[in-house]
Structure 1
Amino acid sequence: MNMDFWRAVFKEQIEAVKPRDVWRLTMDQSLDFHNVASPWRKSLQEHAHGSFTCSRCYHSWSSHHVVILFHMHLERYEKQGSVRMRTFRQRCYQCSSDKYEEPQFSEEDVIHSVECLIFSIRKKCYGEHLDDSRLFEVVHENRGPHKHEHCEACHLGIHNAHYRWPRGSGHHREPQRPAYLPASLQESKASSTTYSSLATLKYEAFANHADASSCWECCASFIFIAFVIGAFLVYWNKNKYL
């Protein structure tokens, strides 16, 4: 991992939104998810993208479930901020090596993760009320289930500590923590949310009549009422012309 590139991207993005403060980013593989020294704040990215290479069999794989932990702190009076980051590793699932391999990130991966980090800093360190609808975790489909038995973060109880996913679905589930999406995709997200809400209402309406006998009674009552109304209209029309 090239930390110089991480620092360069972080410096550029944080200066764009907080030009009066000086921030620095460092790597710290000893960070503890469960213990955060006050007044530091933590932020966890559970769906970063990265790649791995086994040092034993040289098998390579990519993952959309790379976990990155950040601890962040801002000294308001000194106008200085610090971020420490830790990346969690994965083991090779082909040769079943016991060694956890470090993730490698492309430039695009780093830029995306830093965007999410900046968002967390603005909310947790500056108290900004940002619109969370602009962010959500992108869970990539058709990439295969997450092999949690080979994931260091899962082994430490971090990756799966905040949610439960359906059986047989790996970590492909409805996201809880968002990651950045371009504004051009927000309309499609909003429309899909609306559709999902309508589908839920339809399901709930059906569920209220899930009992078969209740449904039959309702249908029979409706048919009887329609028959009575129809008969009345026929009788009324015949007498009208007598």
Structure 2
Amino acid sequence: MELAEWTRIFNKKAKNLKHSWNLKFDENIVPDKPNPGWKQYIRNTSARFDCSMCSREWPSNWVKVVFHMRLAHRQGGTVKVRALRQNCKNCDDAPMEDPTITPENISILMENLVEKIRIKCYNQNLGKKSRPFRSFDVNSPHEPDHCEACMKGICTRN
């Protein structure tokens, strides 16, 4: 995943928040177990995957992105991001691969994230619904045995 692209889009979407916020990837955050004082938001999106062993490519509309956020008023806010991975169903012992998410879907994720920050960290009642992601045409079923989110029990498709 390209941190610069995510950060650029996040900064653009978060510019009207009361505090400065920073975004960072963190492979160590655990879904459904935010650290004390942190709030969680989990969102589904579409992405593409490439197997580093056989070069097989596949799309998925069931990619979970986990956000943990905290506002420390003097320091501003921090958002930790982790996109859950998938592995190739054709390769034995295939490594988990990071998703490639389109800039359009990153933008939608960031828009929804900033809305959640306003609700969860600033207690604003926005009364809005999350904007849906742009899905891919997927010709094969979701594979729970190859989905990190399913393995962690947070994928609603399992």
Q: Distance in 1 between matches of 2:145 and 2:10?
A: 32
How does the TM-score come out when normalised to structure 1?
0.60
SS class of match (1:117): helix
Q: Deviations over 1:205-240 (max 9, x none)?
A: xxxxxxxxxxxxxxxxxxxxxxxxxxxxxxxxxxxx
CA RMSD of aligned residues (A): 2.1
Higher strand content, 1 or 2: 2
1:135 and 2:133 are equivalent in the alignment = no
1:147 and 2:132 are equivalent in the alignment = no
2:59–2:136 Cα contact (<8 Å) kept: no
1:3 and 2:3 are equivalent in the alignment = yes
1:65 and 2:62 are equivalent in the alignment = yes
Q: Deviations over 1:23-72 (max 9, x none)?
A: 00001000012322221101101x21111100111001111111111100
Structure 1: state its 5+ residue gaps. 161-170, 173-242
C-alpha displacement at 1:145, in angstroms? 2.8
1:89–1:100 Cα contact (<8 Å) kept: yes
- More RCO (CA 8 Å, sep 6+): 2
How does the TM-score come out when normalised to structure 2?
0.89
Q: Distance in 2 between matches of 1:90 and 1:4?
A: 23
Q: Distance in 2 between matches of 1:148 and 1:56?
A: 20
Q: Deviations over 1:116-163 (max 9, x none)?
A: 11111111111111113x326559596343211210110111223xxx
**Number of the residue aligned with 2:40:** 42
Q: Distance in 1 between matches of 2:92 and 2:124?
A: 45
Higher helix content, 1 or 2: 1
1:56 and 2:56 are equivalent in the alignment = no
Q: Distance in 1 between matches of 2:76 and 2:10?
A: 14
C-alpha displacement at 1:98, in angstroms? 3.0
Q: Deviations over 1:86-110 (max 9, x none)?
A: 1110011233543111111221121
- Aligned residues with identical type, % of pairs: 29
1:56–1:97 Cα contact (<8 Å) kept: no
Q: Distance in 2 between matches of 1:98 and 1:43?
A: 29
Q: Distance in 2 between matches of 1:146 and 1:136?
A: 22
Structure of higher CA gyration radius: 1
Structure 2: state its 5+ residue gaps. none
SS class of match (1:90): coil
**Number of the residue aligned with 1:30:** 28
- How many residues of Structure 1 are paired with residues of Structure 2 in the alignment? 157
